Chain A
């Protein structure tokens, strides 16, 4: 008897495949089970045996790839098989199991079971906070810490190696390893930062080249340059000292010496260079004179044109915005009116069109005149030795280094540590005086493990495995890494050092203050951009021929929209459900045109209320629709997988090995749509188990093309966005999909919380942590899932505040000389 039930349950797979994607039964099939069983262990066991075990047993190994055995899972003591039950809860919360066309228990029974099961797991879970390992600052954290410590902003992405991600984030402590390369870089970068911060006038002149992406169009306005200009390059460049610098822009040339824009114009274009918005150099490019010259001698004309753009200028130390651009003409030259597309990506030998810049080099300093007056110097030199007296100078250096090291290490600094810094100061002082001494000691501060690593001492008295609260200073670093991807500021550190952090209301107050600080932008640029895969966007390109209106400018606009939107929802402390459902977004004229939103004019982004139901929320934003598409077409599978992973937190398993790929259209056979081919793919039961969940989600977004524009048809065929979701909800497009997502608010809020908790703890989550997630979500629900309620819930949670004393390590691995190849 039991065997036949099992078989009956398992045939759903082929049934699903035989059906079209809709309609699906809205009512659970097994209504005979509707009579509520008493909430007893026996009844739950019976329910599981009846509806689940048929597929999820030791023999049938379902789902393939990561099978789950519910016959063996313990109902009497769920905590003993917590990982299994957490998977069950996740699926049941989504309404994904049992499959729509299999027998179902009554919805009420399932809900009761989930509530009971999570309750049992939660009751058992606390308090096991997990480890709090030593954390090396990753590249982003290092850069932010330097910015906050010294007010020096450099492009650290080009100076330090990248950090590998685990669990979806690149801040996971356990995998932030070291290597000789990394430490060498920290040392070199540390010395460079110190030289820049102090304003070392002995620095060699050095050239930095900026090269915009080749797919960046220059026939349009570029943000950061004055309105009324077209194309060019704008950079924020750090000038280490007061002195002369050499600026050398180069015009784009099709071949070696054929500069574009020299020929064919009736009058010259005006080139302008600006420092902090002030024009410092201008020159004509093109027009009759250049035209004649170029016709006579292309190479010489090109060289002469480039020489005209070049200039040398005294510049004050510090960060300056330097722009190189062309003034927009009031009336366009006739040949350019013919250009029908936004894209201006020169190819091959196309020497026609506006002049554009290929790259810009800035070299300097030449004949430095002094270290200048920079924010960095003001931050460092809180005192000055009153005379040339060495003892006075050393006293001042002590004050400076005491303050810098305290903030850099984010804890009180011991006298021995300070004395060591002063020893290094002495070396520099002997070499070249007071400022040199400070510079070297500063380099030491930011190159050492006290700055690069965050951790906490273990109390010696406790036994291994004992749970204890992390120290206040460690908690402060943890908090600033979480909210700012940086080190604590003075106020937070003072509260921690004074032992006030855990007094009632103090921590919550700090969280509110920190979320309101601009540094909290790191939650968008580090947390959300990794969670939503936005970091992939810069490296992705569509087929530029299929999408002639796409260029890097549009790519940046797409990212900008989502960036502003995430800022508005997360840091504006709105409900996280607004990420899915908000009735507004941020657009400029070009993006509005791209989306078909009327009435937005000008290059500046502004908040726009959306009247189109389909555009609302992240799923209507081009950044994400583009990120999830291959170059020439959309992929409902990629988009579905993205939603399963990042919205539902139920990532599909990778396809088992040897699964046949989606059949491509072959010549001769009648053309079949992606939908038809996927339906065939789903006839394979192994494929169906994931694709029946993923595909309808992706199909619901089919009206959005690969770059995020709305379309009613694809290759002449009308779009069919219809489908049935895992829980039986029928959807017919983006608006319906969005409603289905917000109909399960705890699921999406749970995803946000789980991802955020992983990021906050900088480690992968354990089953016990999922109880924390549920508790945070439950509490946040009372505040309509405001972002700050989730953040506060995490900060107040046991795993964030506590840690566990580690187990002793096996003798062979004990700290010792190690395995390195030291001489």
Chain B
């Protein structure tokens, strides 16, 4: 179904063949000009991603039986079409004290979090943020944080003495600055591609934003000088963030020249009510963001640890958390595996889309490096060793796929993080509790 742009306002939904009504129309033919396809292979930028799922997975169902060439177990069968760009890494262990209340925040730095519900919340700077500093600064969004669960509906789940912020944050820009996730595909879209309208309208709106931000920055500076020292620190953080927003608007201007306006896609029109649609739509936006080089780094939290969300659509009416405490029951174990398999399938479909997006002499998948996994293995006993971890993407030719990489059990997960940092071209010798590297 083709609808002429001349007749349809920008934000009108173009119904796609697949019928995902809230979703994006076909991705083709709507990529801004400064895009992937126009790049040469040599210039293809490095992309990084980390996708986290809560509550773990059973190692005996997840881990391939032998080291070496990758033989995928049934649970990971969905990865078969992209097997040559996927490695399973086994034998890794999460940081000490990694539990439901802390695991998410520890996952990407492997250090420690402070037990507090107060102002001294502290975690560690996460790998994605190191990467974003190195490769994300040229793009309008150094990094993109997305998720599907609104934590404002999860009471009584956070451990006493620990702020829920630890359960709700995967990415930390600094040890004291967690980065909140965006859940609504429509707002993700708005952040990625900014304002709509004719080029002149968009330029006018950006000018308005700039003058508002100028005034806001001045006011915040004035306010800071009137406050006590602790409140002044809050205002300093605020000012830092304002400057970051200003920077993004500037970069966005450079990125989307006036002529690009006509090929911007229509925005998604809301939050889908189905988990699968929601996750898929967010993945689609990441593909679009990578493709248009709007961001090169993303983190995605596919669920909050110990949340009450269930998966009746695949025959698991109990919450993921409840079935992860399977207590040896075969029925619960089967359901636990079903959820793992389902989520892996959604990630595999995303990899497939990256592979189907050509860039230079390869595909987006060839130029990306991503970690997919959890911070527990057997959820029944909150086992933090033998983690389910998949490393995907060719990292621009620096990582080969199709392998089952076995590390001596237990090897700190942070060793893998350090090795991924190597592949990203960073010079990080240690991260959190790392003791070395994983031979990726």
8 Å CB contact of B117 from A167, A538, A816? A167
- Shortest C-beta distance, B48 to chain A (Å), equals 17
Q: In the bound complex, what is the Cα–Cα distance between A179 and B248 (angstroms)? A: 13
- List chain B residues, Cβ under 8 A from A295: none
Q: A166-B163, A178-B238 are in contact. Are A538 and B215 (CB under 8 A)?
A: no
As a 0/1 sequence over residues 454 to 472 of chain A, the CB contacts with chain B under 8 angstroms (1 = contact) are 0101100000000000000
Q: Does A191 contact B (CB under 8 A)?
A: yes
Residue contact B216 to A165, C-beta cutoff 8 Å: no
Interface residues of B in 131-159 (CB under 8 A from A): 133, 137, 142, 145, 149-156, 158-159
Residue contact B219 to A164, C-beta cutoff 8 Å: no
- Shortest C-beta distance, B264 to chain A (Å), equals 12
Residue contact A133 to B230, C-beta cutoff 8 Å: yes
- Shortest C-beta distance, A593 to chain B (Å), equals 23
Residue contact B244 to A185, C-beta cutoff 8 Å: no
Q: Does B397 contact A (CB under 8 A)?
A: no
Interface residues of B in 203-244 (CB under 8 A from A): 204-205, 207-209, 211-213, 215-216, 218-220, 223-224, 226-244
Residue contact A661 to B380, C-beta cutoff 8 Å: yes
Residue contact B317 to A631, C-beta cutoff 8 Å: yes
Q: In the bound complex, what is the Cα–Cα distance between A444 and B219 (angstroms)? A: 11
Q: In the bound complex, what is the Cα–Cα distance between A820 and B207 (angstroms)? A: 24
Residue contact A181 to B240, C-beta cutoff 8 Å: no
8 Å CB contact of A134 from B182, B187, B231, B308? B231
Q: Does A389 contact B (CB under 8 A)?
A: no
As a 0/1 sequence over residues 311 to 322 of chain B, the CB contacts with chain A under 8 angstroms (1 = contact) are 010000111001
| Nearest B residue to A216, CB-CB | B273
- Shortest C-beta distance, B158 to chain A (Å), equals 7
Residue contact A806 to B229, C-beta cutoff 8 Å: yes
Interface residues of A in 343-381 (CB under 8 A from B): 359, 361, 363, 366
Residue contact A209 to B151, C-beta cutoff 8 Å: no
- Shortest C-beta distance, B238 to chain A (Å), equals 5
Q: In the bound complex, what is the Cα–Cα distance between A763 and B267 (angstroms)? A: 39
Q: Does A69 contact B (CB under 8 A)?
A: no
Of A283-291, A496-504, A581-589, A807-815, the one touching chain B: A807-815
| Nearest A residue to B158, CB-CB | A165
Q: Does A177 contact B (CB under 8 A)?
A: yes
Q: A536-B155, A539-B309 are in contact. Are A806 and B219 (CB under 8 A)?
A: no
Q: In the bound complex, what is the Cα–Cα distance between A184 and B142 (angstroms)? A: 14
Residue contact B231 to A455, C-beta cutoff 8 Å: yes
Q: In the bound complex, what is the Cα–Cα distance between A431 and B201 (angstroms)? A: 11
Q: In the bound complex, what is the Cα–Cα distance between A543 and B319 (angstroms)? A: 10
Determine chain A's interface SS by DSSP, over half rule.
loop
Of B11-19, B63-71, B87-95, B418-426, the one touching chain A: B11-19
Residue contact B245 to A207, C-beta cutoff 8 Å: no
Q: In the bound complex, what is the Cα–Cα distance between A207 and B189 (angstroms)? A: 14
Q: In the bound complex, what is the Cα–Cα distance between A805 and B177 (angstroms)? A: 25
- List chain B residues, Cβ under 8 A from A455: 227, 231
- Shortest C-beta distance, B25 to chain A (Å), equals 12
Residue contact A165 to B178, C-beta cutoff 8 Å: no
- List chain B residues, Cβ under 8 A from A366: 9
- List chain A residues, Cβ under 8 A from B9: 204-206, 366
- Shortest C-beta distance, B410 to chain A (Å), equals 16
Q: A530-B155, A662-B327 are in contact. Are A764 and B13 (CB under 8 A)?
A: no
- List chain B residues, Cβ under 8 A from A180: 241, 244-245, 248
As a 0/1 sequence over residues 158 to 192 of chain A, the CB contacts with chain B under 8 angstroms (1 = contact) are 11011111111010101101111111110110110
Interface residues of B in 234-282 (CB under 8 A from A): 234-245, 247-248, 266-267, 269-274
Q: Does A40 contact B (CB under 8 A)?
A: no
Residue contact A177 to B209, C-beta cutoff 8 Å: no
8 Å CB contact of A179 from B178, B224, B329? B178
Residue contact B119 to A133, C-beta cutoff 8 Å: yes
Q: Does B184 contact A (CB under 8 A)?
A: yes
- Shortest C-beta distance, B218 to chain A (Å), equals 7
- List chain A residues, Cβ under 8 A from B299: none
Interface residues of A in 504-558 (CB under 8 A from B): 530, 533, 535-536, 538-546
- List chain A residues, Cβ under 8 A from B230: 131, 133, 806, 809
Q: Does A716 contact B (CB under 8 A)?
A: no
- List chain B residues, Cβ under 8 A from A443: 208, 212
- Shortest C-beta distance, A426 to chain B (Å), equals 10
8 Å CB contact of A191 from B22, B155, B209, B232? B209
Q: Does B118 contact A (CB under 8 A)?
A: yes
Q: Does A213 contact B (CB under 8 A)?
A: yes
| Nearest B residue to A358, CB-CB | B21
Of A85-93, A309-317, A334-342, A417-425, the one touching chain B: A417-425
Residue contact B237 to A177, C-beta cutoff 8 Å: yes
| Nearest A residue to B307, CB-CB | A539
Q: Does B196 contact A (CB under 8 A)?
A: yes
8 Å CB contact of B164 from A166, A543, A823? A166
Determine chain B's interface SS by DSSP, over half rule.
mixed
Q: Does B169 contact A (CB under 8 A)?
A: yes
Q: Does A450 contact B (CB under 8 A)?
A: yes
Q: Does B367 contact A (CB under 8 A)?
A: no
8 Å CB contact of B318 from A205, A361, A420, A632? A632
Q: Does A210 contact B (CB under 8 A)?
A: yes
Q: In the bound complex, what is the Cα–Cα distance between A539 and B220 (angstroms)? A: 38
Q: A188-B190, A541-B317, A820-B241 are in contact. Are A444 and B119 (CB under 8 A)?
A: no
8 Å CB contact of A187 from B212, B223, B237? B212
- List chain A residues, Cβ under 8 A from B158: 165
As a 0/1 sequence over residues 189 to 224 of chain A, the CB contacts with chain B under 8 angstroms (1 = contact) are 011000000000010111111111111000000000
Interface residues of A in 467-484 (CB under 8 A from B): none
Q: Does B74 contact A (CB under 8 A)?
A: no
Q: In the bound complex, what is the Cα–Cα distance between A359 and B382 (angstroms)? A: 40
- List chain A residues, Cβ under 8 A from B327: 661-664
Q: In the bound complex, what is the Cα–Cα distance between A544 and B215 (angstroms)? A: 54
Q: Does B51 contact A (CB under 8 A)?
A: no
Residue contact B269 to A209, C-beta cutoff 8 Å: yes
Q: In the bound complex, what is the Cα–Cα distance between A309 and B242 (angstroms)? A: 46
Residue contact A544 to B182, C-beta cutoff 8 Å: no
Q: Does A433 contact B (CB under 8 A)?
A: no
Residue contact A161 to B241, C-beta cutoff 8 Å: no
- List chain A residues, Cβ under 8 A from B11: 204-207, 363
Interface residues of A in 139-173 (CB under 8 A from B): 139, 157-159, 161-168, 170, 172
Q: In the bound complex, what is the Cα–Cα distance between A178 and B224 (angstroms)? A: 15
Q: In the bound complex, what is the Cα–Cα distance between A536 and B319 (angstroms)? A: 12
Q: In the bound complex, what is the Cα–Cα distance between A248 and B241 (angstroms)? A: 40
- List chain B residues, Cβ under 8 A from A805: 228
8 Å CB contact of A204 from B10, B149, B381? B10
19 A-B Cβ contacts within 8 A?
A: A133-B119, A133-B231, A158-B187, A164-B178, A172-B163, A175-B121, A177-B178, A179-B241, A183-B241, A205-B12, A211-B273, A443-B208, A539-B308, A540-B308, A631-B322, A806-B229, A818-B237, A821-B133, A822-B240
Residues of chain B touching chain A, judged by Cβ–Cβ distance below 8 Å, are 9-13, 19, 21-22, 117-119, 121, 133, 137, 142, 145, 149-156, 158-160, 163-165, 167-169, 173-174, 177-184, 186-187, 190-191, 196-197, 201, 204-205, 207-209, 211-213, 215-216, 218-220, 223-224, 226-245, 247-248, 266-267, 269-274, 307-310, 312, 317-319, 322, 325, 327-329, 380-382
Residues of chain A touching chain B, judged by Cβ–Cβ distance below 8 Å, are 131, 133-134, 139, 157-159, 161-168, 170, 172, 174-175, 177-185, 187-188, 190-191, 202, 204-215, 250, 256, 359, 361, 363, 366, 417, 420-421, 423-424, 427-428, 431, 440, 443-444, 447-450, 453, 455, 457-458, 530, 533, 535-536, 538-546, 630-632, 642, 645, 651, 653-654, 657-658, 661-664, 666, 763-764, 805-809, 813-816, 818-823
Q: Which 3 A-B pairs have the closest CB atoms?
A: A820-B240, A205-B9, A166-B117
Q: A163-B152, A206-B12 are in contact. List 15 more A-B contacts (CB 8 A).
A: A158-B187, A158-B271, A166-B163, A181-B179, A191-B209, A206-B11, A211-B22, A363-B11, A443-B212, A444-B215, A448-B219, A541-B312, A631-B317, A653-B160, A814-B229
